[in-house]
Structure 1
Amino acid sequence: MNEHARIDVHQHVIPPDRIRAIADRAAALGWPVPAWDRQGALAMMDRRSIATGILSYAAPLGAPDDIEGARATARDVNEFTAELVKDRPDRFGNFAVLPLPDVDGALAEAAHALDELGADGVMVLSNAHGRYLGDAEFEPLWAELDARAAVVLVHPTAPPGAMVPGLPSPLVDFPYDTARTALHLAVAGVPGRYPRLKMILPHAGGFLPYAAHRFAAAARLRPGTAPEDLLAELRRFYFDTGVLRGPCLASLAPRLRRARTRPVRQRLPHGARGVMHRLRRRGGRLPALGGRAAPLDPPGQRRVPLPPSRTGLTAPAVGPPVQPWA
């Protein structure tokens, strides 16, 4: 491990008893079957100078009408992952999966994971069996997570409806669904209403940064809201830059010009690619490109640091809001 160690906030775990479910889902989505094991993950992390990988299970937990099954699967996955973290707390962290759209189950699992298992945050899919994250019924969950200053990884999933033939859903539909749920949250006012939430949008926010000014026209759906108000909601998200590379990464760089973070491409163990923020460890703090890193995790937790901006779309700790989409 060199001094430029990285923290990977987007690394997926597959418990042994979920291998078949993941394989079936991959086949349905037209995507290669992923694989994961601890030793393979550690070897990859050593090769790529990753200090800590924050593990998450980014797949549906059960059928839409199987509430109890989803609750049980969430508990099993989170306890399996917590054991991995317990064995190697220096190398792994955990974003606990929540069984949405079951709000009561999600609240119970969040409390168990954060209080009993020591999870670093939670993971929710971009839609829960077709219900997007700005849904008013999810409000109690956001209120509870905001009270905890929780980190929330919003991982994309397939949107409702059929795939375009010949175009695997993870390739095309996932970035679309990331933008869709982010806009749904913003129109509902969730980021602004719960400012202590730290929501991470994977894969550079999908289509969000490139169409944000178009999306700002949705302000008309909230009486008394101006387009700039909606952009302010969108600026509250954090990004990881997984699967972004080449010219696309270069085009995003100006949008991150005040983020004080440096995206670096990284290969994940099951064949996906992720990009983490490259951070230098120094005295327990993580300065990034000359700025002081602020921890994403709540007080008392131990990892998931990012720079003091929110996804590079605004930098409240270092200056006025950036206008990245002009």
Structure 2
Amino acid sequence: MKIIALEEHLFPRDILESEGLSLGIPMERRAKELDDLPARLQIMDDAGIDLQILSAVGQFIQELEPQRSISIARQVNDRMAQTVSDHPDRFRAFATLPMADPQGAVVEFRRAIEELGFVGAMIHGQTHGRFLDHPSFQPVLECAEGLGVPIYLHPGLPPSAVREAYFGGLEPAVATLLATGGWGWHAECGMHVLRMIVDGVFERHPALQVIVGHMGEGLPFSLTRADDLLTPMLKGHARSVAETAQRNLHITTCGYTSVAPLQCALTVFGADRIMFSVDYPYSATDKAVGFLNQAPISPADRVKIASGNAQRLLRL
């Protein structure tokens, strides 16, 4: 069985250091592993992963001033393209976009897909406090839809006002984790998707496909409730909240290795909309692959999640 992992991060340390930048907490804690290619390949071999879809740790790039954001995104994409070129049987890549400049992001998006051969783009949460339903990002969504490639919507660090209101007064290390992978990331990313749905993003861009990680960022568990309350409020929508999510959203197993969330995701979204991911280097590759291999699902569904769905969506 072929295994393709979709949310597998990297960042070239020399670019980071030459630009005087920091990945930001909590990304710094595994920074040395992000560009250790021999170690990455060995871990993939040991676990039985055939292909990683590489993505840069990129929220801080979105938050830079526009020209610098464009320059660094281009450097990072060029380096990822070189990595793919050096190992075409082991890697593909999602583009990093300079979302601080939406028109510049469109130019880089097109270059990454049409010239570098990338399979989509990864966007990290808000950019300067704006979600993807903001009118300024309409050109980026149009670009993704026109190119026929997905956007992987990764969580991002909350704005300072949110951090203070929700996570202030806690011990700093605990607050950071609660604001990110311990809870906050997933709640906000799920809300981000619902904002896009209720604001009509997928009515305007019916072919746009969005991927979210972490077993759906809480959406499988809460979609029925959201649908019941939000759908009656929508005007001019052809589909309900749940129908839109099930048509335009794909989820990955990233960072989740327990049965109950997988069963919920399968019930709500179905096996055709779920793909495998590790979240390298922030989650254990062997544990993720072990869960994939042992999960109580049918052989056909296992193949779909392991690679079949990714091959179809990303046209691999």
Moved more, 267-276 or 192-201: 267-276
Q: Cα distance 1:146–1:254, how it changes in 2: closer, same or farther (>3 A)?
A: closer
Q: Matches of residues 27-176 of structure 1 in structure 2 within 5 Å?
A: 27=25, 29=26, 32-34=29-31, 35-36=33-34, 37-62=36-61, 64=63, 66-160=65-159, 161-162=162-163, 164=167, 165=170, 166-167=174-175, 168=177, 169-171=179-181, 172-176=183-187
3-state DSSP class of the match of 1:32? helix
* 1:311 matched residue in structure 2: none
CA offsets 1:117-165 (integer angstroms, 9 cap, x no match): 1111111112112111111221122112111111211111112221623
* 2:264 matched residue in structure 1: 252
Moved more, 6-15 or 216-225: 216-225
- 1:243 deviation in Å? 1.2
**Partner Cα distance (2:131, 2:269) in 1:** 31
- 1:71 deviation in Å? 0.5
Check conservation: 1:178, 1:205, Cα contact below 8 A.
Answer: no
Check conservation: 1:9, 1:55, Cα contact below 8 A.
Answer: yes
Q: What is the TM-score of this pair, normalised by structure 2?
A: 0.79
**Partner Cα distance (2:23, 2:205) in 1:** 33
Which of residues 3, 7, 13 is equivalent to 2:10?
A: 13
Q: Cα distance 1:150–1:112, how it changes in 2: closer, same or farther (>3 A)?
A: same
Q: Cα distance 1:65–1:22, how it changes in 2: closer, same or farther (>3 A)?
A: closer
Q: Cα distance 1:267–1:60, how it changes in 2: closer, same or farther (>3 A)?
A: closer
**Partner Cα distance (1:73, 1:257) in 2:** 36
Moved more, 71-80 or 117-126: 117-126
Q: Cα distance 1:154–1:239, how it changes in 2: closer, same or farther (>3 A)?
A: same
- 1:262 deviation in Å? 7.6
Check conservation: 2:255, 2:279, Cα contact below 8 A.
Answer: no
**Partner Cα distance (1:15, 1:290) in 2:** 32
**Partner Cα distance (1:247, 1:288) in 2:** 14
Q: What is the TM-score of this pair, normalised by structure 1?
A: 0.77
Could you say which structure has the greater relative contact order, defined with CA pairs below 8 angstroms and 6 or more residues apart? Answer: 2
Check conservation: 2:6, 2:53, Cα contact below 8 A.
Answer: yes
Q: Cα distance 1:106–1:288, how it changes in 2: closer, same or farther (>3 A)?
A: same
**Partner Cα distance (2:104, 2:118) in 1:** 17
Aligned residues with identical type, % of pairs: 23
**Partner Cα distance (1:121, 1:261) in 2:** 16
Is 1:186 aligned to residue 197 of structure 2? yes
**Partner Cα distance (1:249, 1:63) in 2:** 31
Check conservation: 1:26, 1:32, Cα contact below 8 A.
Answer: no
Check conservation: 2:120, 2:149, Cα contact below 8 A.
Answer: yes
Match for 2:97: what amino acid?
L
CA offsets 1:289-309 (integer angstroms, 9 cap, x no match): 5877561125xxxx2xxxxxx
Match for 2:10: what amino acid?
V
RMSD across aligned positions (CA): 3.2
- 1:103 deviation in Å? 0.9
Is 1:237 aligned to residue 249 of structure 2? yes
**Partner Cα distance (1:32, 1:23) in 2:** 15
User: Gapped runs of 5+ residues in structure 1?
Assistant: 280-286, 304-326
CA offsets 1:173-231 (integer angstroms, 9 cap, x no match): 110121011011111222343233221111112121111123222335532459x6111
Match for 2:312: what amino acid?
P
Check conservation: 1:158, 1:177, Cα contact below 8 A.
Answer: no
**Partner Cα distance (1:102, 1:273) in 2:** 35
User: Gapped runs of 5+ residues in structure 2?
Assistant: 294-299
Q: Cα distance 1:233–1:268, how it changes in 2: closer, same or farther (>3 A)?
A: closer
Match for 1:162: what amino acid?
R
Check conservation: 2:62, 2:98, Cα contact below 8 A.
Answer: no
Q: Cα distance 1:254–1:212, how it changes in 2: closer, same or farther (>3 A)?
A: same
3-state DSSP class of the match of 2:215? helix
